[in-house]
Amino acid sequence: MGEQLDEELVRRVQRGDKTAFDILVRKYQYKIAQLINRYIKDPHEALDVAQESFIKAYRALPSFRGESAFYTWLYRIAINTAKNHIAMRARRPSEDEIEIEEAEQFESAVRLKDQETPEGVVLSEELARVIQFALDELPEELRTAISLREFDGLSYDEIAQVMNCPVGTVRSRIFRAREAIDKKLKVLLG
């Protein structure tokens, strides 16, 4: 279903509909940001590279023929953009003609920049703690449904088989679990 939606959105972009690309960006911004964050730990830099990846994808869309899924294609662009960014950053000292004595400091500065920022770590940990707390408070059937979906990546049909219930019940349970978690998260995020 997701791939069909992407195909339709890509077709629309290729016909000149820019708002369809906004939808694609909104759909995949989290996935792409997390992916790039594995390579570039600085959150601001990672978001800049994620933005650059989407811009490159837009420019390359005329040549996208749908031979692979849109996300697979976008994933490759994001990985390449992140790698190029790291390579360019590594070349920067020589381009700026930094003295040998300073080069070591520069390199360590780059390395330091690669560390996750304390604020990012705190926020991530706090969010994880809230989600875990919300999960623990969920009734068993809701917790199982959302866990099978998010942790194990099962489809609704597969969850219905595992939990021995109709697919409609799975839909409802996953939604109710998300709502319960969202209520706690809303308080934290303000």
Partner 1 sequence: MSDDDLKQKLSLLLDGELSKSDSLALMSRIEHDGELCRQWHRYCLVSELMRSGKILPVDDRFVDRVRDALASEPAILAPRPEKHQYRERTITAALAASLAVVAVLVGKSINEYSPVRGPELLAQTELTDTNDAHSTVDPQFQDYLVTHSETAYLAGAPGMLPYARLVTYDFSR
Residues that bind partner 1 (CB under 8 A): 1-2, 4-5, 8-9, 11, 13-19, 21-23, 25-27, 29-31, 33-34, 37, 43, 46-47, 50-51, 54-55, 58-59, 61-63, 65-66, 120, 123-124, 127-128, 131, 146, 149-151, 153, 155-156, 171-172, 174-175, 178-179, 181-182, 185-186, 189
Nearer to partner 1, 96 or 152 (CB): 152
Shortest CA distance to 47 belongs to which of 25, 62, 67? 25
Shortest CA distance to 6 belongs to which of 51, 53, 82, 57? 57
In Å, how far from its chain's centre is CA 24?
Answer: 13
CB of 152 vs partner 1, minimal distance in Å: 10
Nearer to partner 1, 84 or 168 (CB): 168
CB of 144 vs partner 1, minimal distance in Å: 14
Report the 10 Å Cβ neighbour count for 151. 8
Q: Are 10 and 25 in contact (CB under 8 A)?
A: no
Nearer to partner 1, 89 or 178 (CB): 178
Q: Which residues have C-beta within 8 Å of that of residue 43, sequence separation ≥ 6?
A: 37, 116, 117, 120
Shortest CA distance to 55 belongs to which of 31, 92, 29? 29
